[in-house]
Amino acid sequence: MAGEQLRYDGQTVVVTGAGGGLGRAYALFFASRGANVVVNDLGGSFKGEGGGSKAADAVVNEITSAGGKATANYDSVENGDKIIETAIKAYGRVDVLINNAGILRDISFKNMKDQDWDLIMKVHVVGAYKCARAAWPHFRKQKYGRVINTASAAGLFGSFGQTNYSAAKLAQVGFTETLAKEGAKYNIHANVIAPIAASRMTATVMPPEVLDKLKPEWVVPLVAVLVHKSSEETGSIFEVGGGHIAKLRWQRAKGTLLRADDSFTPAALLKKWDGVADFSEPSYPTGPANFMELLEDAHKLPPNDPAEPIRYDGKVALITGAGAGIGRLYALQFAKYGAKIVVNDLMDPEGVVQEIKKLGGEAVGVKASAEDGDAVVKGAIDAFGRIDIIINNAGILRDKAFTNMEDQQFQQVLDVHLRGTYKVTKAAWPYLLKQKYGRIINTTSTSGIYGNFGQANYAAAKCGILGFSRALAREGQKYNILINTIAPNAGTAMTRSIMPEEMVQAFKPDYIAPAVLLLCSDKVPEPNTGRLFEVGSGWVAETRWQRTGGAAFPVDVTLTPEAVLGKWADVLNFDDGRADHPNDPSAGTAKIMANMDNVSGKGAKSSGGKGKNEEVLAAIEAAKKAKAEGTEFTYDERDVILYNLGVGAKRTDLALVYENDDNFQVLPGFGVIPTFNAIAPYSMGEVVPNFNMKMLLHGEQYLEIRGPIPTEGTLVSYPHLVEVVDKGNAGLVVSGSVTKDKRTGKDLFYNESTVFIRGSGGFGGPSKGTDRGAATRVYKTPSRAPDSVVEEKTTEEQAALYRLSGDRNPLHIDPGFSKVGGFPTPILHGLAFFGIASKAVVKTYGAFKNIKVRFAGVVLPGQTLITEMWKEGNVVIFQTKVKETGKLCIAGAGAELAEGAKPRL
């Protein structure tokens, strides 16, 4: 198929928001490949203001002038029926719908107004629904249809200052997955893309040089493949832009299972919390877990270990939809453990209030819809003067096959679930900010995550809640407001309409509440915000994204659908060792941004002027794709102490040298150790010409801490080649390595080491490295005096001690070898004084989440190091000098502090 040109002759393609940017590119492309195109555009601003016919007319004129067929439509997507009517009147059919129209209303949550929320929902969520709903009968009748809905990185991962946009965009995922399930037997396919492309919207947040390489034309070919009659892909999620395309799917941890009885408590769950995020045996679900089987297994387990109860004394918990079912159970459980309860319900909260009072608890009822969040929160403040915990639990069902769904049914579900969650949280937010404390649990569902027949409304609303939660978690974290999302499985009055009665009875809310209570405590290890958990039957498991390594295309060659098909297997391949788990917008777009310097090289010359060495270039590309088998590194408390001593810990630093100290810990610089002797799937001699170990210089080091560092364990490191840069007289090789905890499967560290190899350039590779954010950042020291200075004298034995942690290079111990290298005595390892400098950062400012250094000079054992530090917001910029020579040994360095970092040691 890759050899044929994909055509759309005789088909009608409807593109919303087609007056400019990505929509215009879609319209022009499909017209050029034989389709009739309906060019819809309201003609307003990217903020959703104004209107007019000029934008759509201009695109139609472009198409017709080139001999194509196109018709303009100027309706808002809220009037999707009129847009589809235009297609039917003009061409008698509709085959493809591309829901592309969108606006931005970026604003921090504390300053967001209801109109900022409502307008985004109206355009993105309701607009996509209205257009798809109007096209659906035509698709079913002709047994053919293709739908593309548009998400974004902000939706997939949550973006600061975009709670409205993130909610709307992730709503597209649940909506799309439901359409895919309902449309399958009618040959109606629905997919969702998360594009990054230059447009009126992105022009406000991206620099021109980046926008130039993010042309909409990089997105169109993927969509062309997905909507072609030959495509079998449906219900899928893709990220695309700048020459990069990858697929995403859900990955579910094995989770932890406890006996489902009265011994299942928050404290019992805490004891087995590590298993919740155990991705060592993951699954890749497209629907809910087998909760009946889980329940049967849970009943076979012995009673859960008793534990000291987790208390909520002095805390005020607000629970919406708490008049019955799972909300009632939450209320009773929180009251049991000491919290004061606000029972909110649209029907009658008083019965639950009285239950709590009879048990000796404190409670007040607020009879109101969750949509009236102001009234709900006012009831809490009036009664108790504060609010600490919010469980957004209220909900309704209006299930209906999509072909029969009425607008009111879609809007009602969206309002109660998504807008209700927003309104209650928004009303409480000022109180949470002021007290710098809050715990929020929002409720999604497996229908939202995976889509479900007859629940296009519910799936959109529930997945939107997840997008909202992830975005808000980023805004709340620095104020100690933690937000998580659960997808519960319980028998309730709501589920009684879709579950057999015996299942309703079996799936007790009692087997969900402990997870909710625990997440609202202060006991869960970090990170404890922005996460998604599936819960029920005594089982709790985390669910996250997995992304393929994808396909990358050179940015100096026009991309075609046929070229995309040529690499389609790479786009879909989750099993080639390149898959990862992005969890924030920067990680979401990292591969797109990393492709900016991917050029075909036609006519290019290396900076060394020696022309291309095709053998080396081919070896580099092969090495980049090579997958490491993984090298294990097992360590215990002895190794921790040895490393800490190797980077200057003193006998009086008990937390670093005594395993029985209450605060015994690993210095974070230890993250470079597990990967040091890991086996790479390539050799240096393959990826640069004239390789000579003696000509190698360690230039830069980047370390990212991705999880709490245990004081013993078995880790597995997976090295890979990041890039090779041709500096003319030298080759620059960047090696990356992901280190995982073997037991949990979770990432612990990520390292990047940059080495310069003199005499190994001139092979015709790129002369400039890619921008990988924090990993490639060079920090500039401020012009003012340092905010802090730490001075530390190394010992004569420092190198001899440090080498026992793994770097056995004789340069650091053998005088004869060091003299051959041009040094009068053995020198100190670069990663040793990196560790000493990073210790100074931790000692002064607290834990960091990543650190980047540039090695600038040599240190001899016994010399004194002076680390000068400047704190700029959440970043510590630093440099390290050798006191005896006055020369820098570390320059351009910086560390991003972890949330809530405090001086340690």
The catalytic site residues sit at: 165, 169, 458
Give the integer Cα–Cα distance in Å for 80 and 83: 5
Compute the CA torsion angle 715, 721, 724, 729 (nearest 10 deg): 50
Residue that is written with structure tokens 């605060």 in the block = 663
Helix, strand counts (H, E) of the chain: 30, 28
Strands 864-872 and 875-882: antiparallel
Q: What is the sign, positive or negative, of the torsion defined by CA atoms of 147, 153, 154, 156?
A: positive
CA 403/CA 235 separation, integer angstroms: 18
Q: How far is CA 66 from CA 35, 56, 63, 96, 767, in A?
A: 13, 16, 5, 21, 41
Pairing of strands 316-319, 340-345: parallel
- The conformation of residue 402, written as its DSSP 8-state character, comes to G
Report angle CA 857, 859, 864 to the nearest 5 degrees.
120
All residues at 6 or more sequence positions from 300 whose CB lies less than 8 Å from its CB, including other chains = none
Name the amino acid, one letter, at 726.
D
Cite the beta strand spans of 770-812 per DSSP E: 788-793
Judged by DSSP in three states, 148 sits in: strand
Look at the alpha carbons of 255, 396, 127, 80 in this order and tell me if their dihedral is positive or negative.
Answer: positive
**How are beta strands 244-252 and 256-257 bridged, if at all?**
unpaired
What does the alpha-carbon distance between residue 529 and residue 475 come to, in Å, rounded to a whole number?
A: 11
Amino acid identity of 715?
L
Partners of 72 in the β-ladder: 39
Q: Name the E strands within 607-646.
A: 631-635
What is the rounded distance in angstroms from the CA atom of residue 544 to the CA atom of residue 582? 9
| DSSP code, position 474 | H
Which residue in this structure is represented by tokens 């009285």?
354
Give the total residue count for the chain: 905
The two three-digit tokens of residue 183, written as one number: 């449309």
One-letter identity of residue 72: A
Q: Name which of 736, 617, 767, 624 is nearest 688 in CA terms.
A: 617
How far is CA 830 from its chain centroid?
33
Q: Which of 86, 175, 72, 193 is nearest to 135 (CA)?
A: 86
For residue 863, the SS3 value is coil
Query: For the purposes of burial, counting CB atoms within 10 Å of the CB of 522, is it exposed (0-12), middle (13-18) or buried (19 or more)?
Result: exposed
Contact 711, 637 (CB under 8 A): yes
Q: Which two tokens stand for residue 16?
A: 């919303």
Q: 3-state class of 290 per DSSP?
A: coil
Q: Measure the CA–CA gap between 486 and 444, rounded to whole angstroms.
A: 6
Pairing outcome for strands 244-252 and 237-241: antiparallel
Q: What share of the chain is helix, strand, coil (3-state, %, to 5)?
A: 40, 20, 40
From start to end of 662-766, where are the E strands? 696-705, 713-726, 730-741, 747-758
Closest C-alpha among 694, 682, 778 to residue 735: 682
